[in-house]
Structure 1
Amino acid sequence: MFIVSPSTIWNRNALETRQVPRRIFGRVMLLPRRGFPLRLVWRMAFETQMLRFLGVLAPFVAAMFVWRQSALAIAQAPLLMIVAILYVETNVLRIPKERRAKMIDRAEADRGLDLLQVRGRAILTRIAARRQLASGVLHLVVEQSDMAYITPLTFVSVQSEAEPEVVRLSREEEAMIRRDLFGAPLTERKLLRINLLENVFLRDVALDMRGVSAHARLAALSG
């Protein structure tokens, strides 16, 4: 999980938006500044389509060097290269839609989404209480890559309808999200299975500040 905030990336302009929720995957390339797990650096590379294509085509290039007498024939076989790219994209990195229904039970998926809402609203309530926000709407946006067979890549951000904008989070707020959002029985990988089942990869938890009671604010501050 990478928490997206103006303070955690170098290219802050990439977060500019006219509406929330702000989508990231397939729209912009983020340049992490801090808080990005080193184990996910290689995973981020998979989100660059050109790098994936080059990886698939690398064996063809190697073959041209090994079998020089056949180099011209290999270079003139674009159809085979296209087939290789399509196969990797649709069957190696992703799960075909017709096979997704068996990934997770429908009732279990519903429970997972309900838990995401509960955890998300609790996080937003704590943020609102600590910032003493009395009006406006905050969104906890959880977006995942649709690549199924490798480590899940999840972007989490807090967004506000006021500007609209992606909210700059404090380090304490970032730590709270890392601690409270994912964990058994709802992990990043389980959420990915749910998203694959529904073919929905952006989850938006919204909280209207006017609906947060004084008791909830006190409980959030004490927690």
Structure 2
Amino acid sequence: MIVVAPNTVLNPAALETRQVPKKMFRRVAVLPRRAGFATWARIVFDVQILRYLVALAPFVVAMLIWPRLAFPIAQAPILMVLLVGLVEMKMLRVSKDGRADLIDEDAAARGLDTLRFRARSILTRLAARKELSEHRLHLVIEQSELARVPPLTLVSVQLDGPDPQLLPLDADEQRLIRDELFGGALTERELLRINLREDVFLRDVALEARGVSAHARLAALMERAPAAEHAQ
């Protein structure tokens, strides 16, 4: 999971938006400030043109090994298209008929209920921490639709209002999302199965900031107090 915010990516200008929820896959290059090799490899793998080039690599290798065959190989675009289609549609994705077998309808419904419950809990705490009292907060969870590789999940907190934006998140707020959103029965892989079944890869859970209780705001104030004392 990558928590996406203006202060967690190398290209914050790419996160500017005119409407919420903002869709990122195939529209925005997410470049996290801190990520390991595996995360970067997964991000690169999601770039479609790069996957095409990898799929076509055998043709390039064949032309280098047998230069006399370079012209005939270059004149075989149908084979290239078929190979790319095989990799993209058969190896990396699940057919429409196979999606229903990934998870049953009741389990999918329970998973989405859990996601909404956890997302609203996170949004409540974030709204209280940030002392937001108006407009609508959105927790946006977007996943890559590639099925046979590790899930790639982008999570952001977006504010709907006169100035729609992705909110910056401090270290504690990022940790809250990482610790509370996935776990137990609802993992990133489980959510991907649900998304593949329903062919929906962006989940948006909203919360009116004005609806956050005084109790939640007081709890957030008490959470911040020890951190502030420690910082001093």
Give the TM-score normalised by structure 2. 0.91
Counterpart of 1:152, as a letter, is P
Task: State yes or no: 1:49 paired with 2:48.
Answer: yes
Q: How does 1:130-209 map to 2 (within 5 A)?
A: 130-162=129-161, 163-209=163-209
**Where in structure 2 are there 5+ consecutive unaligned residues?**
224-232
Calculate the TM-score normalised by the size of structure 1.
0.95
Please list every run of at least 4 consecutive aligned residues from structure 1 whose deviation after the TM superposition is greater than 3 angstroms.
216-223
Count of aligned pairs between the two proteins: 222
What whole-Å deviation, never above 9, does each CA across 1:69-109 have from its counterpart, x for those lacking one?
32221121111001111111111111111210110011000
Where in structure 2 are the equivalents of 1:4-43 lying within 5 Å? 4-34=4-34, 36-43=35-42
Question: CA 1:111–1:218 in structure 2 vs 1: closer, same or farther (change >3 Å)?
Answer: farther
- The RMSD of aligned alpha carbons is 1.4
1:158-207 CA-to-partner distances (Å, cap 9, x unmatched) read 00012100001111100111111110110000000000000000000100
Task: Write the distance in 1 (CA, Å) between the matches of 2:37 and 2:117.
Answer: 29
Sequence identity of aligned pairs in percent?
55
CA 1:197–1:76 in structure 2 vs 1: closer, same or farther (change >3 Å)?
same
1:222: how far off? 5.6
Partner of 1:102: helix, strand, or coil?
A: coil
In 2: Cα distance, 1:128 partner to 1:40 partner:
29
Quote how far apart the aligned CAs of 1:68 are: 2.9
Q: Kindly tell me: are residues 180 and 37 of structure 1, through their superposed partners in 2, closer, same or farther at Cα, counting changes over 3 Å?
A: farther
The residue aligned with 1:94 is: 93
State the SS of the aligned residue for 2:169. coil
Superposed displacement of residue 221, structure 1:
5.3
**Partners in 1 of 2:222 and 2:107 — Cα distance?**
32
The Cα shift of 1:123 comes to: 0.6
Partner of 1:112: 111
